[in-house]
Structures are given as C-alpha cells and as structure tokens.
C-alpha cells in the first residue's frame, strides 16, 4: 500500500482487551482497545468487523471446548484518550494450544484486501496489532462484543437495515418512510 515502515503492536496477556465505541447509536465509531501497564493501544474498525470477530472467536472457543463460564465482563467505557493508531483492514484468529489461549491479529488494509502473513521482522508491510489472551478473557471479550453490537439502533423488520429515530427509506417498503 505504501512504503512506510511497518509498525508492530504486540500485547501478551493484556490487563484489559475490549471492543468499545465512541458516539451515539447511528453515529458510533468502533474500536479494539488493549491496555497493559501504561501502554494503551486503540485501533478503529467497523461494527461488522466487531460482530465477525465475536462470532468467529466464539466458534473457535467452542471448537476447542473452552469453558463457557465467564466470571466478569468488562462493562466500563473505552479508556481515554482514544487515539486511533490505525484502521483495521483484515483480521486473523488462531488457537495457541501451548498456552490454551487465543491469538488475535488485526492489520491495516492491504492492496488486495487480504490478510498478509509476514514475519515479525519484515520491515515493510501493513501495521499489525497482535493480542494474546487466555480462554476466559476471550469469552469475556465475546460477551461484551455481542452486547455492544446488539445495543445499536434497532433493525427494520422489513429490510434489516438500522432504523434511525426519524425512520428510514426502506427498499422493501416500496420506498416508504418506515
């Protein structure tokens, strides 16, 4: 995409890892945020990416038969200041059997829109955020992300698009304001 030096943000066992938003429903900006000690990392992404990550992470945890119980779900807002280090293009997910944990990678968009697998010492390439969390932290992330995605504007019963408070023009409602 560009010839800028690649930046790696690697957080093993963060003190906090969550999906969160800024703004009001209908005008929210979505972020992944990780904090370990004094380091705070925030990357921007789309609501659909949060939903897909939660779904795939939940499926992965089920496949490896990770416990379902979650002690606590972080319900606090994003930590300030929220400084978007980059916008997420592609994400990858893996199970690390050696420590019974999950590895989540998010990287900036590539020219072809695909996830670029590069060695960590590659000087050029998309910026990358890599988070390693244990299964209970992953379950808690999923629960929060699912609630976050579900807390937005209600969906139109006809077309499934989000409803604005003033209604919207529904493609299935013959262009009527619903």
| 3-class DSSP string for 113-151 | CCCCCCCCCCCECCCEEEEEEEHHHHHHHHHHHHHHHHC
Express each pLDDT in 97-149 by its tens digit: 999 999 999 999 988 888 999 999 999 999 999 999 999 999 999 999 999 98
The predicted model gives 60-66 an average pLDDT of: 93
Alpha-helical regions (H) of the chain: 47-63, 135-150
The CATH number of 8-150, from 3.30.2450, 1.10.287, 1.10.1740, 1.20.1420, is: 3.30.2450
Phi, psi dihedral angles at 45 (to 5 degrees) = -155, 175
pTM of the model: 0.83
Which tokens belong to 164?
């604005």
On the CB side of 84, CA atoms within 13 Å amount to 14
């Amino acid at each position: 995409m560009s010839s800028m030096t690649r930046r790696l943000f690697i957080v093993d066992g963060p003190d906090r890892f969550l999906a969160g938003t800024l703004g009001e429903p209908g005008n929210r900006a979505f972020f992944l945020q990780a904090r370990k000690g004094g380091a705070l990392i925030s990357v921007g992404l789309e609501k659909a990416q949060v939903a897909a990550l939660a779904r795939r992470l939940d499926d992965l945890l089920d496949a490896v038969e990770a416990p379902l119980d979650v002690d606590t779900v972080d319900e606090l807002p994003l930590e300030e200041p929220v400084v978007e280090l980059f916008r997420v293009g592609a994400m990858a997910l893996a199970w690390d059997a050696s420590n019974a944990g999950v590895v989540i990678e998010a990287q900036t968009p590539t020219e072809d829109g695909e996830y670029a697998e590069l060695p960590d010492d590659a000087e050029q390439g998309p910026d990358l955020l890599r988070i390693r969390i244990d299964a209970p932290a992953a379950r808690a992330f999923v629960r929060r992300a699912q609630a976050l995605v579900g807390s937005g504007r209600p969906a139109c019963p006809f077309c499934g698009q989000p409803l604005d408070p003033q209604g919207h023009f529904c493609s299935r409602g013959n262009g009527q304001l619903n």
